[in-house]
Structures are given as C-alpha cells and as structure tokens.
Amino acid sequence: MKTFVIFFISIFIYLVSFSQEYDPYTYQDIKPKSTLKDKIFFGGGFGLQLGSVTNITVMPEVGYRFTDKFTAGTGLYYMYTSISAYNYSDNVYGGKIFSRYYVVPDFFIAGEYESLNIADYDLYTGYYTGGRIWVQGLLLGGGWRQKIGEHFAILTTLMYNVLEDDKTPYSNPVFKISFIY
C-alpha cells in the first residue's frame, strides 16, 4: 500500500510540474511574461549589383515588439554607387525610424521616415555641385512576413515614398526584402 501511495504521489507531482498555469476565472492558459530579450529584434537588408553600374547597399536595423501586433525601431542606411560610363561614384548614408502593425498574423502595414545624405547635383546639367545635402523620405505601404523558425523571419515589403523629389536616390515604388531575428 505504501508503494501504491508513493507511486500516485509521484505521478501527481510529475503532471503538475509539466502543466501550464491557467487563470481559474477564464480557464485560459497564462502566458509567461516576455523578457527584454524576447521584445528586442535585429535585422535589416542588403543589396548588391555589380557591373558597369555598381550598387552595394547595407541597411541594419534594431526594433522593439511593443505588442504582438505592433513593432517599431530604428536603422541605418549605407549605399555605395559607381557608374563607370560617367566616372561617377557616391556614398549615400543616413538613418530611419520605422513601425509595422500586423493587421493579421503575417500581413502588416508599415511606415518609415528616413533622412539620407547624398552628393548634391544640378538637376538641369546633372553635374555634381561639390556639396552634400540631406533628402527626406516618408515611405508608406505594407508587406508580408514569412516565419522561419520561432524567432527568424523574412519580410517582403512594397512601399511608396510620398515625399519623393527629384533628388531621391531611388524611384517609386520601393520593393524591399529584409530579415529579422
């Protein structure tokens, strides 16, 4: 009898130790509290084009998950461009702030505000003026997240720069593929 009681107590302790906590009023599982490590994510994108026109782009970012549906963060932007036919090269650099709201689990709407430093040129002649200017951009759009594992995902985003002007270093629409972890 003593062995029988010890056996049932052992089984009970085993089951209780692996069960999840639940709210006795709603009978739903209580989710464990998220840590700062779970809330912060890193990611970004990169691009490479080689040939008579060379573009090398690096865009790292860091963000914070405020809720399961809303994330926001900041990032850097660097692009090296070289056009051999015109003996032209430039380094474009800057930063951005962004936010994403997940309308449904893997589809989101997004917004980015960026400020990029570019070599200034005359719009009529196309010649470099010798100075540098800051160009602002406000990109709005949406995208899709493809999860690969628990923390890693690929983001495909289509955006439109509503502040595009003649000196913006890219044209509308803007298509991005980036990674987050």
Domain ranges (residues) in the chain: 36-180
pLDDT in tens, the chain (181 residues): 677 667 666 655 655 454 456 556 665 666 667 777 788 999 999 888 888 888 899 999 999 999 989 999 999 999 998 888 777 788 999 999 999 999 998 999 999 999 999 888 777 776 777 789 999 999 999 999 999 988 899 999 999 999 988 878 778 888 888 998 8
Task: Identify the three-state secondary structure at position 27.
Answer: coil
Domain 36-180 -> CATH class: mainly beta
Taking Cα atoms as reference points, which of 46, 63, 58 lies closest to residue 97? 63
Beta bridge partners of 82: 54, 89
